[in-house]
């Protein structure tokens, strides 16, 4: 693996390797939540935050506990537990100390545990053998990229409400087509940087 | 929920309540692996295996699981089966394991499995839950294979890696890139919604 500058990975994760538009991760909540700009912005923030936190935890756990004991095959279980635990912990801390943010993000936090993007980022950073800084940059970049995509889609969907859509395509169908068009637009970025 | 015969369970899972185009869940992985038929087939088999067995297990221990930690228990059971699939692929089909990469692990967060566990296995006996898992797995695989068929045929001119279309065929690069997956899934949803809509209408007209 060529040593990549963390900054390069950060940019690549936002634009060229966008979590939704090129890796299809986090689609479930993407389609369900992207109805309004405000809620999708909230969810995006929460996802970015959890991504940054869990990538650090999972990186440390994987390299300092699982690898020395040859327990790599347990990584799925460990990652999902650490994500669930992190989300719980954040929820409790926020409720106690920053209630404003808690009420803003509150309902989204439990949803995040089952968001494929979180587990996906943790798995990708292991498979691609990123260093600590690279993993962190990748996680934050992915979060920002995800937020950007979902907010953009929410904006488009708000306009779509007034459009007439063929009967069978209403709802999820047209959302997927819009996402496809966005993905095509993002291919245009692929010249900037490329990570595999 | 009323007792359902195995035939009803199958028709619900595969067609009228298909996880992908009816409930719109589990599409994360559905889109990512569909640029080749072989990958989709393996993914479909893996998911069917995990859904069926985890539904079976969850249903078997449903009376002993405390209600408030049941999510955690379910996730752990699912993760255990996913690890089996992962190790199996690594041992016998290392090249597929490499191309599928992280997506095997992402079966855990596939909402289909959690969805079936919550909606069906929680309330039913082990055997029907097992069938329900298989039916949903088949429904999911069918959509995957359908999309993969077009993407691989038009993108590479091959099916399962064998050359089908001759030299005259110009490969559509767009078909192996992400956007085509979105478009094709949208088309699948469109077609199936229309068919199901028409069936409902004709049933109403009959009665």
Residue of A147, A142, A136 lying closest to A53 (CA atoms): A136
Q: Where are the domains of chain B?
A: 9-206
Dig out the tokens for B199 from the structure: 């069936």
The answer to whether residue A169 neighbours chain B at the CB level (below 8 Å) is yes
Distances (CA, A) of A153 to A38, A104, B88: 12, 20, 39
Rg of chain A over all Cα atoms, to the nearest angstrom: 17
**Position with higher pLDDT, A30 vs A133:** A133
Are A84 and B75 inside 8 Å of each other by CB?
Answer: yes
Do A125 and A37 form a contact (C-beta atoms < 8 A)? no
The answer to whether residue B77 neighbours chain A at the CB level (below 8 Å) is no
- Please identify which residue in the block is written with the tokens 């950007």: A148
Q: What's the whole-number mean pLDDT along residues A121-129?
A: 86
Q: What's the whole-number mean pLDDT along residues B4-29?
A: 73
Tell me the per-residue pLDDT of A56-76, one tens digit each, with 9 for 90 and over: 999 999 988 888 888 888 888
Report CA A157 to chain centroid distance, whole Å: 20
Which string of b and e fits B4-40 if b means at least 16 CB within 10 Å?
beeeebbebbbbebbbbbbbbbbbbbbbbbbbbbbbb
What is the ipTM for the molecules in this complex?
Answer: 0.79
Is residue A105 over pLDDT 70? no
pLDDT of residue A94: 79
pLDDT band at A177; cut points 50, 70, 90: confident
pLDDT of residue B53: 92
Q: Within 13 A of B199's CA, how many CA atoms are on the CB side?
A: 8
The answer to whether residue A124 neighbours chain B at the CB level (below 8 Å) is yes
Which of A24, A166, A167 shows the shortest C-beta gap to B31?
A24
Are A119 and B106 inside 8 Å of each other by CB?
Answer: yes
The percentage of chain B sitting over the pLDDT mark of 70, rounded to a whole number, equals 93
By C-alpha distance, the chain A residue nearest B178 is A22
Do B129 and B121 form a contact (C-beta atoms < 8 A)? yes
Contacts of A39 (CB under 8 A, 6+ apart): A33, A108, A154
Dig out the tokens for B86 from the structure: 């992962």
Per the confidence metrics, is the pTM higher than 0.90? no
Are A76 and B27 inside 8 Å of each other by CB?
Answer: no
């Amino acid at each position: 693996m060529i040593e990549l500058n963390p900054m390069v990975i950060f940019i690549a994760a936002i634009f060229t390797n966008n979590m939704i538009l090129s890796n299809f991760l986090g689609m479930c909540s993407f389609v369900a939540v992207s109805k309004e700009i405000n809620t999708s912005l909230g969810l995006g923030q929460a996802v970015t935050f959890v991504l940054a936190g869990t990538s650090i935890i999972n990186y440390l756990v994987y390299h300092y506990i699982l690898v020395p004991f040859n327990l790599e095959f347990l990584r799925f279980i460990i990652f999902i537990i650490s994500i669930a635990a992190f989300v719980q912990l954040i929820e409790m801390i926020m409720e106690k100390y920053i209630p404003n943010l808690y009420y803003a993000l509150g309902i989204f936090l439990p949803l995040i545990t089952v968001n494929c993007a979180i587990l996906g980022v943790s798995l990708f950073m292991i498979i691609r053998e990123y260093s600590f800084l690279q993993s962190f940059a990748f996680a934050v970049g992915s979060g920002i990229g995800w937020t950007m995509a979902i907010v953009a889609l929410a904006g488009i969907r708000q306009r779509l409400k007034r459009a007439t859509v063929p009967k069978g395509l209403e709802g999820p169908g047209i959302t997927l087509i819009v996402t496809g068009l966005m993905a095509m637009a993002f291919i245009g970025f692929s010249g900037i940087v490329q990570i595999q | 929920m009323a007792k359902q015969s195995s035939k009803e369970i199958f028709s619900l899972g595969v067609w009228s309540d298909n996880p992908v185009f009816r409930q719109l869940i589990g599409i994360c992985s559905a889109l990512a692996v569909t640029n080749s038929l072989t990958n989709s087939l393996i993914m479909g088999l893996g998911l069917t295996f995990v859904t069926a067995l985890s539904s079976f297990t969850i249903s078997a221990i449903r009376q002993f699981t405390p209600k408030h930690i049941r999510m955690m228990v379910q996730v752990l059971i699912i993760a255990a089966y996913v690890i089996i699939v992962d190790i199996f692929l690594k041992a016998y089909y290392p090249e597929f394991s490499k191309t599928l990469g992280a997506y095997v692990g992402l079966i855990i967060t596939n909402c289909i499995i959690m969805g079936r566990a919550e909606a069906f296995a929680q309330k039913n006996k082990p055997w029907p839950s097992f069938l329900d898992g298989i039916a949903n797995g088949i429904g999911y695989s069918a959509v995957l294979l359908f999309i993969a068929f077009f993407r691989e045929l038009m993108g590479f001119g091959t099916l399962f890696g064998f050359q089908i279309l001759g030299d005259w065929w110009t490969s559509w690069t767009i078909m192996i890139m992400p956007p085509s997956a979105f478009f094709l899934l949208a088309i699948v949803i469109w077609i199936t919604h229309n068919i199901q809509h028409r069936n409902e209408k004709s049933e109403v007209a009959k009665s």
